[in-house]
Amino acid sequence: MSATEGDPRRTDPRSFAVRAIMAMRNAVFPMVAILFAMRDEGYGIFLALGVGLLIAAIAAVSNYLAWTRFTYRVGTEDIRVEQGILSRAARSVPYERIQDVSLEQALVPRLFGLVEVKFETGSGGGEDLKLSYLTETEGEALRELVRERREEEAAPDAEKQASEEVIAAADPPAKLLFAMDMNRLIIFSLFQFSLAAVAVVGGLTQQFDFLLPFDIWDLDFWRDELAEQGESIAGLGQQAQFVGAMLGVIALVALGFATGLVRTFLRDWGFLLEKTARGFRRRRGLLTRTDVVMPTHRVQAVKIGTGLLRYRFGWHGLNFVSLAQDAGSSNHVVAPFAKMAEIAPIMAEAGFAMPAPDASWHRASKNYRTDSILLESAISLFATVPVAIFAPLPFVIIPLSLAILAAVANYYSWRFRRHALDARQVISVHGLLSPETQIASRVKLHSVEIAQGPIAQHRGYATVNLGLAGGSFTMHGVPIRHARALRAAVLDSISASDFSQINAAVSGAQV
């Protein structure tokens, strides 16, 4: 790449063909509509094919023209992109503004051996730069070049020569941290039960109800249909009705597990997490393959989460909170389905540690617990008045039961809401049935805010908001005295750290 560095270049010539193939999905709906509308005409199928070919031809021509008018230039200080068929647009992104570079392969580009290179700038609003498409070799080389340029921009002049010598040396082999084989994927999918397929079918039915041979919104039709089916079922006998109901439940459960299986395999197929000289490299995906590298010094915090059922079997998930984005989120999934013994080494590689057995834990204020119980229970208690007036008296039991349930849930959730502060980290744990742990480095926090509403001021507790780049870290109901002590300790850690030396040491270690 260095031989032509600085010269304008185009993406791979096969890019317009890939875009044209992917755009052909826009022809599916018109073709189906024509086939349905002309189903009684002999020429209907030919008309549908003609419309599909016309749309495909227009997509191919427009994508070819767009490809010829798209160029990018890898400069010494930035990446510049020019595009537009009739009106031209130019954009320049300095290396220092690029937070991360990732490679993504959807199904069609993957068949052609092409990747989409995405440059994460942190600007938000979908304004991140991307190149669609380059060969896998070109994409990887461009990613490495951008990272080297970014590090050169950040490194002091006295350190550039040493950095270049380290870059020239052979990178150490990647260290495998976590992988998901077929058995792990299948087990994971069992906990991903979902009835999203039912919602998708319902949405499609609502959008394309004109293609159905009956009016889906005709209540009389459904009433007559249910009555007819009810008479048929009633004539089968109780045993047949029970068997039919059980088969229906089994089919619904099977659909839920099948949906979870498909979603898990599509997202996490071939999941691989490695520690490289550049940071943490994660690859995953069946149809769309993503290749993301997270520099170690950009990991701001870690989150350990679980689910209602997964927690009972000891399964958890680990996320990194990073400055860059991962599918629109600041949380990078690095171990979606793992045991705690597998999570701890990954955290250690990122510079974090599990809470010590002798950690000094602090619960939220008891006044906060009492206020939460009263406020959330009051909503259900107030509902008892209109229910008692307009509904039969036994129905009053419903809002009263909800009030009691809210009180019990708040009491037990308070027991599991706690936080701790050690020499290097701030730790927060919350959640009754599926606890979540968040750990942030004290020196990587940007600020500490103590917020109090009128009730909190009177009752002596506060909400502590820790300034975390790329994420949020909030602790509720902290006693005001402890909140002030926590703020002083974190600010002392920040002020005592020389961030220029920290960044230089981290950059040298990663290079």
Domain boundaries, the chain: 2-96+141-154, 196-267
Which of 339, 335, 259, 325 is closest to 292 using CA atoms? 325
pLDDT at residue 85, as a whole number: 81
pLDDT value at residue 458: 93
3-state secondary structure of 465: strand
Burial tier of 314 (Cβ tally within 10 Å: 0-12, 13-18, 19+): exposed
Top mean-pLDDT range of 50-59, 191-200, 429-438? 429-438
Look at residue 340 in the predicted model and tell me its pLDDT: 95
pLDDT for residue 510 = 44
Give CA separation, 493 vs 177, 240, 438, 450, in Å: 30, 71, 19, 17
Summary mean pLDDT of the chain? 81
pLDDT in the model for residue 127: 55
Give the residue with greater pLDDT, 286 vs 122. 286
For residue 368, cis peptide bond before it (omega within 30 degrees of 0): no
Question: Of 13-27, 109-123, 271-285, which has the strongest mean pLDDT?
Answer: 271-285
Say if residues 75 and 90 touch (Cβ distance below 8 Å). Answer: no
pLDDT tens, 370-413?
Answer: 998 888 888 878 878 787 777 787 788 888 888 888 888 888 88
Q: Are 406 and 380 in contact (CB under 8 A)?
A: yes
Secondary structure letter of residue 96 according to DSSP = G
- Mean pLDDT, to the nearest integer, of 475-485? 93
Q: Specify which of 175-184, 226-235, 498-507 reaches the highest per-range mean pLDDT.
A: 175-184
Long-range contacts of 351-356 (CB under 8 A, 24+ apart): 351/296, 351/299, 351/441, 352/299, 352/301, 352/302, 352/425, 352/439, 352/441, 353/424, 353/425, 353/439, 355/420, 355/422, 355/427, 355/429, 355/437, 355/439, 356/422
Is 470 within 8 Å of 421 (Cβ atoms)?
no
Whether the predicted model's global pTM rises above the 0.85 cut: no
Under the banding of pLDDT at 50, 70 and 90, the label for residue 337 is: very high
Asked if residue 153 lies in contact with residue 96, where contact means CB atoms within 8 angstroms, the answer is yes
Q: From residue 325, how far is each of 54, 466, 507 by CA, in Å?
A: 38, 20, 20
Q: What is the pLDDT of residue 480?
A: 94
Q: What is the C-alpha end-to-end distance of the chain, expressed in Å?
A: 20
Least confident of 19-23, 266-270, 300-304: 19-23
Q: Would you say 259 and 197 are in contact if contact means Cβ atoms under 8 Å apart?
A: yes
- What 375-382 contacts at long range (C-beta under 8 Å, 24+ apart), as own/partner pairs, is 376/406, 376/407, 376/410, 377/403, 377/404, 377/406, 377/407, 377/410, 378/403, 379/403, 379/406, 380/406
3-state DSSP of 297-356: HHEEEEEEECCCCHHHHCCEEEEEEEEEEECCEEEEEEEEEECHHHHHHHHHHCCCCCCC
Q: How far apart are CA 160 and CA 177, in angstroms?
A: 31
190: Cα separation from own chain's centroid: 20
In this structure, the chain runs to a length of 511
| Averaged pLDDT for residues 424-435 | 90
Q: Quick: pLDDT tens for 254-269.
A: 888 888 899 999 999 9
How confident is residue 214, by pLDDT bands cut at 50, 70 and 90? low
Taking residues 53-80, what's their average pLDDT?
A: 86
pLDDT confidence of residue 146: 86
